[in-house]
Structure 1
Amino acid sequence: MSQAAPHGATPVYDLLGVGFGPSNLALAVAAHEHNGGTGAADPVTAVFFERQARFGWHSGMLLSDATMQVSFLKDLVTLRNPTSEFSFLCYLKDRGRLIDFVNHKTFYPLRVEFHDYLEWAAAKVDDVVHYGHEVTAVAPVVREGVVEAFDVTVRHVGGSSSYRTRNLVVATGLRPQTPAGVEASDRVWHSRDLLTNVGRLDGADPSRFVVVGAGQSAAEVTAFLHERFPAAEVCAVFSRYGYSPADDSSFANRIFDPAAVDDYFTAPSEVKTMLMNYHRNTNYAVVDTDLIDELYRRSYQEKVNGVNRLRLLNVSRLTAAREHQGRVVVTVETLTTGEVSVLDADVLICATGYQPVDPFPLLGDAARHCHRDGFGRPVVQRDYRIRTDASVLAGVYLQGGTEHTHGITASLLSNAAVRAGEILGSIVANLPVDRPLSAPVSVGAGVPG
């Protein structure tokens, strides 16, 4: 997928991906297929950088019995190219489980299995990925008043290196969000770090956990801790009266269709708001019905037996949390009465969601060429390219952080295959006809690591 530059020159890539989760993995696969797998006469040259040491996608929540909430057909490729060798079905065939999966009669594989599929796909394009490499700076390359490319500084174990690209594709994922005034620590975790941290408690005989949040992750964490630590009390704190079921009905699921992106993008702002409000219950702060039923079953069984380890503190909110003598003192307010309760816990887990990462700090000087709306958000075109000044020929594309323009699927796996195809198509359509493979080495540029 990449070509070598002449000795003493900096390679100029057609696209450089920042981050290598499912979104940019889907893009790498799309580029691989565009190039004919083993190379084409005029291939798209690509390179991707991921700060993690290896591929990983929400690894801290890979609970052994958790299933995907999206159909396996919405994998990295199928909605873009149903005949792709990178499909989930091809993965199953390669792993020797295709017939077993068919007999399982489900559209929703285990999350650990789907993660293994993603790792399998990532390994097939690992020649264009650099793990343990973090993009730290982006600088516009200007010639005769025109921004033709970007020089990208990448930090790694060996120091730092400089890469040049005609297009930047930013897919840095989401930032964990915790309640105001609460910061992660050894005793305060975000749900994404559950499995990373929970092993430290083995043999410690914890007596109480507090889980804050009303969505799928919060419910999964609550169920997991309740089962993993049979002597501990698990207190679930959320502002709703009860866990709300996810709307995964057939008509509602059309909000995840590729065509829905077109509808949303062209809709007036008030219609965008209306659609998001109508269909938030397909994805945000909602829980699979089976898991709701399981938690209710456990709660009722404990009432019958007179042992209440699972405490559901509904219509409540966390107001404070402080560590004291190896514990966490959690203050909870009941919203209906204003009554305040103090819980002394071993660990507080915040399953309180994520926020998009602002791309502008990473873009540095290049950001001043990017257009913003009245809320300071990037103005993003239908092809996921940020609108820039007319003097900018190089492209900046976003995978994530485009809900305000593209709707609910902006960063979701549901549309990853089609989104990657659209971004690659835009990049290919805008490439210079006689593009050089390299440029003179920039001052201070290092050797690619």
Structure 2
Amino acid sequence: MSEPVSEPLGKSPGKPLGKPLGDLGASVSEHDVVAVGCGPFNLGLAALASTVDGLDLVVLEEQPELTWHRGMMFGDASMQVNFLADLVTLVAPGHPLSFLTYLHDMDRLYTFTVRENFFPSRREYEDYLRWAAAKLPSVRFSHRVEEVHWDAAREHFTVHAVRGDGTPLRMHARNLVLGIGTAPHVPDALAALPPSRLLHTADYLYREADVDAAAKVTVIGSGQSGAEVTADLLGRNLDGGPAVSWLTRTASFAPLDYTKMVLEMTTPAYMQYFHSLPEEVRDRLTREQWQFYKGISTDTLEEIHELLYRRQLEHGPAEVELRFGVTVESAAVDAAGRAALSCRHRDTGQTFVHTTDLVVAATGYRNRRPVFLKPIEDLLLRDGRGRHRVRLDHSVELEAGITGRVFVANAETHSHGVSSPNLDIGAVRNATILNAITGREAYRLPKRSAFTSFGAPPRTS
């Protein structure tokens, strides 16, 4: 996708972006908000903040440019949320950084309308994100955050960062927003495999040469990523590619539950209800609601079945094996240099060894624990399981006497529910954060986002 050339979006009158404080061996500046990480959530925060009068926000991103799930950017991959779940529209439909404005700027608005498919491709969504980032002077790439300290005397956080050219920077702010995203997770059962025999779905398209060189590839895990990789492998298999195995511990290759009344449980209304519940109830609901976020789209399941049917019709391609209800308990390299997975069939308890050339771990992501927070780690309060205690406004509870605030984005599933990583909640969360920071209703939040009433009715005498 080509990078659009455009003028930066103008700031409303207010404090200048990055007021110099003097030369103390590093470039020093003062801001209202420093946001760390530039994925869709903090980019959306910058977009909404760009039209808030008097608010000085800067976003720091270590990488030199914005990329989004490049390792899973299949040519026909579609978003699972529609275009309204962009950076801004669900709280500010007239915002100049909406997806519709992007389409208009790219002269694709009319053809997108005629297309009558309101789910953009992943490639188009990434291009939209890059278009928005190019219009925001508050977003700074190649800026690595190294440490954050709390200055009690001045009542602000000091963010120590390094620019890509090695220039040290010091930024002061009363508010931090952490949007550093999640990291690919490889479970302990697979950790003993060498890199030559193991890859995570996040790196799948970067490792195509290894996939093509393998005689047999095994996918472990049955979420959307695992299903998309399996579909790609089945296509390769039809063209003479490797044998394919797909193993998962879930009780079936289960679909995402995207029925409309169930989707009401991904709304801001349900998020507020979820946050009000006791910790043990929230943890139970998170386990029970796995099909909201760990299932597979019905389109992908149908594609897989069609590929399997074609294989049955055409005969000849290498072996294909699909098994659910299988737990991988350990892994090692056998005498022949292949990956040997020690497995247990959950229904029968029977154990067996599965041998393969390459394992693709479709085992999800986990929240990162940022090293740069170590100097203030003791100030961030945690729950009984060591997770940050997060308020309804997405700020972390801090030790008494700390007047600054630390907000989190996509690190609060335990406190706000399984919808918190969803793109369609991003604009509402960012509006909530900006309202809390400014102390006013910078953006009007939805007051009725679901028809369902989630709590018990009021008590009657």
Assess same fold via TM > 0.5: yes
> 2:369 and 2:265 mapped to 1: Cα distance?
25
How far does residue 372 in structure 1 lie from its aligned partner after superposition?
1.6
Equivalent AA in structure 1 for residue 253 of structure 2: Y
Instruction: Please tell me whether residue 349 in structure 1 is matched to residue 360 in structure 2.
Output: yes
How far does residue 287 in structure 1 lie from its aligned partner after superposition?
0.5
Which residue number corresponds to residue 33 of structure 1? 51
Equivalent AA in structure 2 for residue 180 of structure 1: D
Q: Secondary structure at the match of 2:34?
A: strand
Instruction: Please tell me whether residue 99 in structure 1 is matched to residue 110 in structure 2.
Output: yes
From 46, 51, 73, the equivalent of 2:62 is: 51
Work out whether residues 316 and 333 of structure 1, in 8 Å CA contact, stay in contact via their aligned partners in 2: yes
Equivalent AA in structure 2 for residue 350 of structure 1: A
Work out whether residues 50 and 131 of structure 1, in 8 Å CA contact, stay in contact via their aligned partners in 2: yes
Q: Secondary structure at the match of 2:152?
A: strand
Work out whether residues 386 and 398 of structure 1, in 8 Å CA contact, stay in contact via their aligned partners in 2: yes
Which residue number corresponds to residue 20 of structure 2? 5
Work out whether residues 51 and 133 of structure 1, in 8 Å CA contact, stay in contact via their aligned partners in 2: yes
From 14, 17, 20, the equivalent of 2:32 is: 14
1:73-152 superposed matches below 5 A? 73-125=84-136, 127-143=137-153, 148-152=155-159
Instruction: Figure out how many residues of one structure are paired with residues of the other and give that number.
Output: 414
105-114 or 179-188, which deviates more: 179-188
Which residue number corresponds to residue 300 of structure 1? 309
Q: Secondary structure at the match of 1:260?
A: helix
> 2:399 and 2:280 mapped to 1: Cα distance?
27
Deviations 1:233-256 (A, max 9, x none): 111111235310111011111112
Instruction: Please tell me whether residue 190 in structure 1 is matched to residue 200 in structure 2.
Output: yes
From 209, 226, 246, the equivalent of 1:218 is: 226
Q: Secondary structure at the match of 2:51?
A: helix
46-55 or 328-337, which deviates more: 328-337
Sort the Cα spacing of 1:334 and 1:76 in 2 relative to 1 into closer, same or farther, 3 A: same
Sort the Cα spacing of 1:201 and 1:403 in 2 relative to 1 into closer, same or farther, 3 A: closer
Sort the Cα spacing of 1:241 and 1:3 in 2 relative to 1 into closer, same or farther, 3 A: closer
Which residue number corresponds to residue 406 of structure 2? 396
> 1:325 and 1:121 mapped to 2: Cα distance?
52
Q: Secondary structure at the match of 1:272?
A: helix
Deviations 1:381-401 (A, max 9, x none): 111111112311111111122
Q: Secondary structure at the match of 2:20?
A: coil
From 183, 186, 190, the equivalent of 1:178 is: 186
Sort the Cα spacing of 1:429 and 1:108 in 2 relative to 1 into closer, same or farther, 3 A: same
Deviations 1:51-93 (A, max 9, x none): 2221012121111111111121111101110111111111111
Which residue number corresponds to residue 350 of structure 2? 338
Which residue number corresponds to residue 376 of structure 1? 386
How far does residue 325 in structure 1 lie from its aligned partner after superposition?
8.9
Sort the Cα spacing of 1:241 and 1:393 in 2 relative to 1 into closer, same or farther, 3 A: closer
Which residue number corresponds to residue 444 of structure 2? none
What is the TM-score normalised by the length of structure 1?
Answer: 0.86
Instruction: Please tell me whether residue 23 in structure 1 is matched to residue 41 in structure 2.
Output: yes
Q: Secondary structure at the match of 1:211?
A: strand
> 2:171 and 2:256 mapped to 1: Cα distance?
44
Q: Secondary structure at the match of 1:33?
A: coil
5+ unaligned residues in a row in structure 1: which ranges? Answer: 36-42, 431-449
Deviations 1:18-43 (A, max 9, x none): 110001001000110214xxxxxxx2
Deviations 1:277-302 (A, max 9, x none): 45321212x10112112212222333
From 428, 431, 435, the equivalent of 1:421 is: 431
> 2:428 and 2:331 mapped to 1: Cα distance?
43
> 1:397 and 1:338 mapped to 2: Cα distance?
47
Equivalent AA in structure 2 for residue 344 of structure 1: T
Equivalent AA in structure 2 for residue 295 of structure 1: I
1:245-324 superposed matches below 5 A? 245-273=255-283, 275-284=285-294, 286-307=295-316, 309-323=319-333
Sort the Cα spacing of 1:105 and 1:178 in 2 relative to 1 into closer, same or farther, 3 A: same
Equivalent AA in structure 1 for residue 68 of structure 2: W
> 2:108 and 2:340 mapped to 1: Cα distance?
46
Work out whether residues 217 and 243 of structure 2, in 8 Å CA contact, stay in contact via their aligned partners in 1: yes
Work out whether residues 321 and 329 of structure 1, in 8 Å CA contact, stay in contact via their aligned partners in 2: yes
> 1:327 and 1:423 mapped to 2: Cα distance?
52
Identical aligned residues as a percent:
30
Q: Secondary structure at the match of 1:189?
A: strand
Which residue number corresponds to residue 155 of structure 1? 162
> 1:339 and 1:182 mapped to 2: Cα distance?
17
Deviations 1:359-402 (A, max 9, x none): 5x532232222222222211111111111123111111111221
Equivalent AA in structure 1 for residue 32 of structure 2: D
Work out whether residues 167 and 427 of structure 1, in 8 Å CA contact, stay in contact via their aligned partners in 2: yes
Deviations 1:309-346 (A, max 9, x none): 3321332233333457995413142413524133131x
Sort the Cα spacing of 1:344 and 1:389 in 2 relative to 1 into closer, same or farther, 3 A: closer
Deviations 1:389-427 (A, max 9, x none): 231111111112211211122232121011111111111
> 1:327 and 1:108 mapped to 2: Cα distance?
43
Q: Secondary structure at the match of 2:286?
A: helix
Work out whether residues 33 and 177 of structure 2, in 8 Å CA contact, stay in contact via their aligned partners in 1: yes
Equivalent AA in structure 2 for residue 294 of structure 1: E
> 1:101 and 1:326 mapped to 2: Cα distance?
53
Work out whether residues 148 and 373 of structure 2, in 8 Å CA contact, stay in contact via their aligned partners in 1: yes
Q: Cα RMSD between the aligned structures?
A: 2.3
Sort the Cα spacing of 1:324 and 1:156 in 2 relative to 1 into closer, same or farther, 3 A: farther
Work out whether residues 343 and 352 of structure 2, in 8 Å CA contact, stay in contact via their aligned partners in 1: yes
Equivalent AA in structure 1 for residue 70 of structure 2: S
What is the TM-score normalised by the length of structure 2?
Answer: 0.84
Work out whether residues 187 and 327 of structure 1, in 8 Å CA contact, stay in contact via their aligned partners in 2: no
